[in-house]
């Protein structure tokens, strides 16, 4: 991220982990035709070229008077009012010399008119209108100035938001070709896990990753198949994984990826496919497992709740977006002045739960939550993003620090 040389030992740099995953992303799912009102969050499977010019014809950007600029003296002057055109009217009669027509926003310019003057700058006297000096093209939206017929409107690989859907509608496109939603099976691993609402026996905790990861996946446009907790027993893990691999395009699990021995997940996956344990230079989120189960990619994020959340946001998200056919999958960090000093030098890149706080002059600065434990989620709830501090990097108050907003990472 900064070009700094870090001795990471046997840890894999975060960027390498992401690019290794992207290299192995499966091809996007099959395509389907859908209506525009079903298109929110879906990924375009083919380039879309505009079937029309946008705008379709020259039209007025203001309520006012349309004229031919050469008819108006340099210092402004009087023209005869030759008609009235509202939005939805058809402008067929050409504008006569020394005339202006009253026109409304969005209405077509009559042939010959090339300029519009807003009504509040004009003076009416009976059949005549006085117009101030104007330049050719003022307040005119020219045919095709936004997009020309046949030109690229949206590229394949784009995830559709409200504005893209509006653009497609504006071009008269009713149906589009998108990728089918990616099917992801979600599994939790850990004998200690119980569901919220159930009583807890000593040593047991509630399963938070299941709920948190499922919502992340849905936010990324994925269809979630929730397998709950895998029984901590080889045959049961094998059964759940094999079912999941037949039902889904991809498997995501949490827990059981560090050095623990209590772990049937690893053995079950080795029997059904293959697994590679990575140690990534990020904190939280060092352990991550990547492999395949019966030919379907499987990613295992760490069990600690904040480590699971942040690994999913930073490392898993680009992979899942690419597997959905998206081209632009990396978040764009902002450089924002730090409101803190960070003097410790870390081997692992820090992803610190942080918030943007406006100072006296309105300038934003990044504040850190005092509790950065990977086992706790309260700091992530307080935060609106992650401050990223690279390995060996020290930060002094007011230095720029990279900030990744949750709003970006969660879509």
Ligand X SMILES: Nc1nc2c(c(=O)[nH]1)N[C@H]1C(S)=C(S)[C@@H](COP(=O)(O)OP(=O)(O)OC[C@H]3O[C@@H](n4cnc5c(N)ncnc54)[C@H](O)[C@@H]3O)O[C@H]1N2
Instruction: Name the residues that contact ligand X, by CB under 6 A.
Output: 188, 190, 192-193, 205, 207-210, 254-260, 286-287, 302-305, 307, 374-375
Q: Which partner in ligand X, ligand MOO, none is near 102 (CB below 5 to 8 A by kind)?
A: none
Q: Which is nearer to ligand X, 68 or 266 (CB)?
A: 266
291 binds ligand MOO (CB under 6 A): no
The interface mask with ligand MOO, positions 240-279, x = CB under 6 A, is ----------------------------------------
365 binds ligand MOO (CB under 6 A): no
Cα–Cα dist 270/88, whole Å: 67
Identify whether the C-beta of residue 248 lies closer than 8 Å to the C-beta of residue 292.
no
Identify whether the C-beta of residue 188 lies closer than 8 Å to the C-beta of residue 229.
yes
Q: Which partner in ligand X, ligand MOO, none is near 188 (CB below 5 to 8 A by kind)?
A: ligand X
Positive or negative, the CA dihedral 301, 304, 305, 311 is negative
Q: Which partner in ligand X, ligand MOO, none is near 305 (CB below 5 to 8 A by kind)?
A: ligand X
189 binds ligand MOO (CB under 6 A): no
Name the 3-class secondary structure at 305. helix
Q: Which of 129, 240, 244, 307 touches ligand MOO (CB under 6 A)? A: 307
Could you tell me the smallest distance in angstroms from the CB atom of residue 398 to ligand MOO?
A: 28
- DSSP tag of 233: S
Cα–Cα dist 256/264, whole Å: 8
Cα–Cα dist 168/160, whole Å: 10
Q: What is the largest CA-CA distance in the chain?
A: 93
Cα–Cα dist 348/278, whole Å: 14
Q: Which residues contact 121 (CB under 8 A, 6 or more apart)?
A: 64, 131, 132
Count of other CB atoms within 10 angstroms of residue 331: 17
Q: Which partner in ligand MOO, ligand X, none is near 87 (CB below 5 to 8 A by kind)?
A: none
Could you tell me the smallest distance in angstroms from the CB atom of residue 60 to ligand MOO?
A: 59
Cα–Cα dist 270/206, whole Å: 28
212 binds ligand MOO (CB under 6 A): no
How many CA atoms does the CB half-sphere of 94 hold within 13 Å? 4
209 binds ligand MOO (CB under 6 A): no
54 binds ligand MOO (CB under 6 A): no
Q: Which of 59, 245, 350, 374 touches ligand MOO (CB under 6 A)? A: 374
- Exposed, middle or buried: residue 325 (CB in 10 Å: 0-12, 13-18, 19+)? buried
Q: Which partner in ligand X, ligand MOO, none is near 193 (CB below 5 to 8 A by kind)?
A: ligand X
Cα–Cα dist 209/212, whole Å: 5
Q: Which is nearer to ligand X, 256 or 318 (CB)?
A: 256
Token digits for 137? 């093209």
The packing angle between helices 264-272 and 234-247, to 10°, is: 50
Identify whether the C-beta of residue 369 lies closer than 8 Å to the C-beta of residue 379.
yes
Q: Which partner in ligand MOO, ligand X, none is near 210 (CB below 5 to 8 A by kind)?
A: ligand X
The interface mask with ligand MOO, positions 63-92, x = CB under 6 A, is ------------------------------
Could you tell me the smallest distance in angstroms from the CB atom of residue 12 to ligand X?
A: 14
φ, ψ of residue 216 to 5 degrees: the values are: -60, -45
Q: Which residues contact 26 (CB under 8 A, 6 or more apart)?
A: 249, 250, 297, 323
Q: Which is nearer to ligand X, 60 or 304 (CB)?
A: 304
Could you tell me the smallest distance in angstroms from the CB atom of residue 363 to ligand X?
A: 35
Q: Which partner in ligand X, ligand MOO, none is near 259 (CB below 5 to 8 A by kind)?
A: ligand X
Could you tell me the smallest distance in angstroms from the CB atom of residue 390 to ligand X?
A: 18
Could you tell me the smallest distance in angstroms from the CB atom of residue 283 to ligand X?
A: 8
Q: Which of 158, 180, 286, 355 touches ligand MOO (CB under 6 A)? A: 286
Contact residues for ligand MOO, defined by CB under 6 A: 283-286, 302, 304, 307, 374
């Amino acid at each position: 991220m900064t070009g700094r040389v870090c001795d990471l030992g046997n840890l894999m740099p975060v960027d390498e982990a992401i690019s290794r995953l992207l290299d192995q992303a499966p091809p996007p799912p099959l395509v389907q035709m859908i209506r525009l009102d079903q298109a929110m969050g879906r990924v375009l499977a083919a380039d879309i070229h505009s079937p029309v010019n946008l705008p379709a014809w020259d039209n007025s950007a203001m309520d006012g008077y349309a004229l031919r600029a050469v008819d108006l003296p340099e210092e402004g002057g009087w023209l005869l009012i030759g008609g009235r055109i509202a939005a939805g009217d058809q402008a067929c009669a050409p504008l006569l010399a020394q005339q202006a027509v009253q026109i409304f926003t969005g209405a077509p310019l009559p042939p010959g008119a090339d300029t519009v003057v807003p009504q509040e700058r004009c003076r009416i006297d009976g059949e005549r209108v006085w117009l101030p000096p104007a330049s050719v093209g003022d307040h005119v939206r020219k045919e095709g100035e936004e997009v020309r017929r046949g030109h690229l409107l949206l590229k394949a690989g784009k995830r559709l938001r409200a504005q893209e859907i509006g653009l497609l509608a504006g071009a008269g496109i009713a149906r589009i070709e998108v990728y089918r939603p990616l099917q992801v099976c979600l599994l939790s691993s850990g004998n200690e896990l119980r569901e919220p609402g159930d009583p807890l026996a000593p040593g047991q905790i509630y399963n938070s990753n299941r709920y948190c990861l499922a919502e992340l996946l849905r936010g990324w446009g994925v269809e979630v198949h929730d397998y709950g907790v895998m029984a901590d027993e080889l045959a049961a893990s094998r059964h759940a994984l094999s079912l999941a691999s037949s039902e889904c395009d991809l498997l995501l699990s949490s827990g059981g990826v560090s050095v623990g021995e209590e772990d049937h997940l690893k053995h079950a996956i080795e029997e059904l496919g293959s697994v590679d344990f990575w140690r990534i230079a990020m904190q939280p989120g060092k352990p991550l497992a990547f492999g395949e189960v019966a030919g379907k990619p499987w990613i295992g994020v760490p069990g600690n709740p904040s480590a699971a959340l942040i690994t999913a946001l930073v490392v898993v998200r680009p992979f899942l977006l690419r597997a959905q056919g998206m081209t632009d999958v990396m978040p764009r960090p902002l450089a924002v002045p730090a409101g803190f000093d960070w003097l410790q030098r870390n081997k692992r890149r820090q992803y610190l739960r942080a918030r943007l706080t406006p100072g006296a002059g309105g300038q934003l600065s990044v504040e850190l939550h005092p509790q950065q434990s990977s086992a706790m989620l309260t700091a992530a709830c307080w935060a609106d993003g992650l401050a990223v501090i690279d390995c060996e990097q020290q930060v002094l108050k007011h230095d720029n620090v990279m900030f990744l907003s949750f709003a970006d990472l969660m879509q």
